[in-house]
Amino acid sequence: MNVYKKIGILFLITVIFGVTGFLINSEIYGNKRTKKVNDLLENKQKIKVKKYLFPYQLINKQEKKISQQKDFINKINPYLSELELYKKEIGSDIKTTQSNVYLSDNKILKKYKLNSGFYAGINKDSIFPGSGYIDFYGNDIFILSSRGVLAFRDSSINNEANFKQIKNNIETFIGIKQFRKSNKISIKDLLIFRKKIYVSYTHEIGEDCWNTSLIFGDINYKNIEFKKLFSSSECVHSTNNLDKEFEMLQSGGRVIPLDENNVLLSIGDYRSRYLSQNTDSINGKIIQINTQNSSYKIISMGHRNPQGLYFDKKNNFLLETEHGPMGGDEINLIKLNDTNQGKIPNFGWPISSAGEHYGGISEKRNAIKYQKYPLYSSHIDHGFIEPLKSFVPSIGISEIVGIGLNNFVVSSLKEKSLYFFQLNEKNEIVNLDKVKVFERVRDLQFKNNNLYLFLENSASLGIINLD
């Protein structure tokens, strides 16, 4: 990318966000300053500006304009990705701005907005958020953007300290060629474990044929050279597939440690639903990957889009969260003793679910779909494991972490909330408590009695002290 093109991109983004900021302020608050800006525009100009730079009000009034919004997102996404990759290339610090949000139960959410480097969001309905992931190495907190910007700072510094970038070669595995195709194509998670750093991502194995893969490297504060750890030869083609349906966002990608030689990786079905019940496929599964030789085995199956994983070492089980279709987000408990005995716990997708196919059973276009994938409300009646909890309607469930003995937190995207709960002696969910945080929560970590959140609407690191 030459210097002039970079300058042009920066200028374009600045204009877009600047004008959009004025319009948002005007549309929501109608203050005098933005009113003057509106007064300077003729009616035809206002319509054009709203159409191309502020489509949301028109969408609310006229649903037929949704396609225009999607076209706009598709047009602007490559520029946002290029801008993010340019930030990665120059390697400059990421400055933060701190603010407080007051939550229920006297909780305070400290927000550290990342002022650069996190421009391209995964969320399919908006260009404005930047998506990212967080983890820790010692006392340092690492952040990774959906396009490969990697940075760190000391987590004990309680101010607006900068994040310092770490050079890396992630772009050799997923880069601008893929990002230009869709904002949904992205890095999926970050794990730091035993002086190694692991990154999962949507991998274009062949032209327009995808699956979820894993790379790793040695921790280095100057430059990290990633290598491939796991990638299947199996892939789901975006157009040439059995059911003629494809959804990049149904890719899973959560990675957590199991023991010193193994990590766990969640993989979605990419909307090829039948793969979730096929033991010859890695899709719709939780798999265990040996970090020494890259061999793998299936830990559980019958999943749609696994978003969160937590290993309870004391009780030797996993807690898994996954997106349902139209309703039916789930929290599942996976007993590892079963997998060690050669059994593969099956959670029923796409045969059983509390959700419905998009549009519901009354839609004529869904008739064949319900014949193939009936979505029975009961799991156990059809030989599957019942979820601990099904959310109807969906909350856009994301990560899950433990915060003490039998106490857990689940985050959400759609509901912009945290859900605190306990497991009783029967492993039943009790004392479920919802706390609004007012932004989509893409990732969640717990350390030193603090919850760390990646807030997607503003591209911010959030911290909630639980004392």
Do 114 and 130 meet the contact criterion of CB atoms below 8 Å apart? yes
Asked if pLDDT for residue 438 goes beyond 90, the answer is: yes
Residue 249 has pLDDT above 50, yes or no: yes
The strand pair at 167-168 and 223-224 is best described as: parallel
Q: In sequence order, what are the residues at sequence separation of 6 or more whose Cβ sits closer than 8 angstroms to the Cβ of residue 187?
A: 133, 144, 145, 146, 147, 148, 170, 174, 199, 200, 201
pLDDT of residue 462: 97
Spell 218-247 as b/e; 16+ CB within 10 A means b.
Answer: ebeeeebebeebbbbeebbbbeebeeeebb
Q: Which residue has the higher pLDDT, 65 or 348?
A: 348
55-72 pLDDT tens trace: 445 444 544 554 555 566
Asked if residue 54 has pLDDT above 60, the reply is no
Q: Which pLDDT does position 52 carry in this prediction?
A: 44
Residue 329 has pLDDT above 50, yes or no: yes
Please give the pLDDT value at position 246: 98
CB proximity list for 35: less than 8 A, separation 6 or greater: 26
The partner residues of 199 in beta bridges, in order of sequence, read 190, 215
Is the Cβ–Cβ distance between 277 and 301 less than 8 Å? yes
CB atoms within 10 A of CB 358: 11
Q: What span, in angstroms and rounded, lies between the C-alpha atoms of 265 and 306?
A: 9
The residue ranking higher by pLDDT, 55 or 121, is: 121
Domain 96-465 classified CATH 2.120.10.30? yes
Q: What is the mean pLDDT of residues 345-362?
A: 97
pLDDT higher than threshold 90 for residue 221? yes
> Of all helices (H) and strands (E), which one includes residue 458?
none
As a whole number, mean pLDDT of residues 415-440 equals: 97
Q: Please check the confidence at residue 31 and state whether its pLDDT lies above 50.
A: no
Q: What per-residue confidence (pLDDT) applies to 65?
A: 53
The whole-angstrom separation of Cα 21 and Cα 344 is 51
DSSP label at residue 162:
P
Give the pLDDT confidence of 272-318 residue by residue, as tens digits: 999 999 999 999 999 999 999 999 999 999 999 999 999 999 999 99
Q: Tell me the whole-structure pTM to 2 decimals.
A: 0.87
Q: How many whole angstroms separate alpha carbon 384 and alpha carbon 387?
A: 9
Higher pLDDT, 304 or 13: 304
Is the bond preceding 78 in cis, omega lying within 30 degrees of 0? no
Q: What mean pLDDT do residues 122-148 have?
A: 87
Average pLDDT, integer, range 380-399: 98
Among 314, 222, 296, 223, smallest CA distance to 255 is for 296
Contact 248, 272 (CB under 8 A): no
Domain span(s) for CATH 2.120.10.30 in the chain? 96-465
Q: How confident is the model at residue 50 (pLDDT cuts 50, 70, 90)?
A: very low
Summarised one tens digit per residue, pLDDT across range 180-206 is 999 899 999 999 999 999 999 999 999
Question: Could you tell me which residue, 24 or 358, shows the higher pLDDT?
Answer: 358
Looking at the chain, the whole-number percentage of residues with pLDDT higher than 90 is 77
How far lies 445's CA from each of 11, 141, 347, in Å? 35, 10, 26
In the prediction, which pLDDT does 10 show? 58
Closest C-alpha to 281, from 235, 243, 246? 235
Concatenating the DSSP letter of every residue in 91-125 gives T--B-EEEEEEE-GGG-EEEEEEE-SS------TT
For position 19, what pLDDT does the model report? 43
Question: Is 80 exceeded by the pLDDT of residue 51?
Answer: no
pLDDT tops 60 at residue 47: no
Of 400, 465, 462, which Cα lies nearest the Cα of 99? 462
CB distance 351 to 376 below 8 Å: yes
Query: Taking all residues of the chain, what is their mean pLDDT, rounded to a whole number?
Result: 88
| Banded pLDDT at 32 (limits 50, 70, 90) | very low
Q: Which of 369, 339, 329 is nearest to 351 (CA)?
A: 369
Continuous segment of H or E residues that includes residue 214: strand 209-218
Which is higher by pLDDT, 34 or 84?
A: 84
Q: Can you give the pLDDT at residue 195?
A: 97
Residue 147 has pLDDT above 90, yes or no: yes
Residue 128 has pLDDT above 70, yes or no: no
